[in-house]
Amino acid sequence: MDPRREWLVQAILLDPLCHVPRLLPKTSRRTYIIDWPFCNQPTNRTMTSTTPSTASPLALPDSHGLAPLARRLRCYEPPPPSRQTDRQQPETLDSSETGAGQGSEIAPESLRRRPRSTRAAVLICLFEGSGGGGEGDLRVLLTKRASTLSAHPGEVSLPGGKREEGDADDIATALREAKEEIGLDPSLVEVVTVLQPFVTKIGITVVPVVGILADKNSYHPATNPAEVEAIFDAPLEMFLHDENRRAEEREWMGDKYLLHRFDYQTADKKYEIFALTAGILIRTASVVYQRPPAFAERCPKFWHS
């Protein structure tokens, strides 16, 4: 049997409500060969059955259009916690790929030898569009960074930033940063899962935290002008489509990969969503809609090294 599939037979139970594999309780701390379908890069992972440690006080009623999605995503197996210890670095963190294709490059072996690395989290805040189409009308909150910032000014990113000493976990980091940057009250967000972490070239681990905003009208955007120039939202499903997308090939340490760029226009502004932010949203859309993108993803290997 293909070893990448063997774990499906030996150590999981298929949950008919969630339509996703779930580990049996007695196998909650073993290593399996998992085929990550969207990157076509089988990797060794230590899977755990733990749920996010910060529980949202908000529970979607069964009548809500996104309740089925929330239940399904709560069954999604989160990635294992990092074994590395966090430390502060002077680097400014955001959800763009830091230094992509620019400046000096650090060998992956050097990154792995680092005993400590910086950890960050971003909030992928999903809500139902005005059309009321449930999962088919999902939108995601995004920001345009302030033009006065020294790092990545004017770029599109997800709300988020580096983990601070007082943060209990990655979820707390993402919710705190969203509150600070765009005035999103954590009590309005139901956190449903976290996704596989992404690692930048300089060793920053970025953890995507997925939450659902049950009532968009209860959120009153308030930007922090020192960090955010604008708040907007875009349809999540667009990150699975080939329209309004460009890609440029990069190479790093012999690995050729694609950086995707999505063009999105609101009534009066144009935005470009690219690099790590685009990669995180491609992965999120793939998990939410349970299908791969309509284009070749070819994500960098170091993102999940």
Round to whole Å and give the CA distance between 291 and 197: 19
Q: What is the pLDDT of residue 134?
A: 61
What pLDDT score does 105 carry?
36
Q: 128-164 as b/e, with b when 16 or more CB fall inside 10 Å?
A: bbeeeeebebbbbbbbbbbeebeebeebbbbbbbbbe
> What pLDDT was estimated at residue 136?
67
- pLDDT at site 222: 95
Q: How far apart are CA 202 and CA 107, in angstroms?
A: 9
User: Any idea which residue has 């992509």 for tokens?
Assistant: 100
Distance of CA 209 to the CA centre of its chain: 6
What pLDDT is recorded for position 120? 96
State the architecture of 61-304 in CATH terms: Alpha-Beta Complex (3.90)
Residue 253's region, left for phi above 0, alpha for psi from -120 to 50, else beta, is left
Q: Where are the CATH 3.90.79.10 domain residues in the chain?
A: 61-304
Q: What is the pLDDT of residue 132?
A: 61
* Residues whose CB falls within 8 Å of the CB of residue 16, separated by 6 or more in sequence, listed in order: none
Q: What pLDDT is attached to residue 118?
A: 87
Q: Residue-wise pLDDT tens for the chain (305 aa)? A: 444 444 333 333 333 334 433 333 333 333 333 333 444 444 333 333 334 544 444 478 888 889 999 999 998 885 554 444 343 333 334 444 433 222 333 334 443 444 344 899 999 999 998 766 566 689 999 999 998 887 788 899 999 999 999 999 999 999 999 999 999 999 999 999 999 999 998 889 999 999 999 999 999 999 999 999 999 999 999 999 999 999 999 998 899 999 999 999 988 899 999 999 999 999 999 999 999 999 999 999 999 87
Report d(CA 160, CA 144) in Å as an integer.
12
Amino acid at 215: D
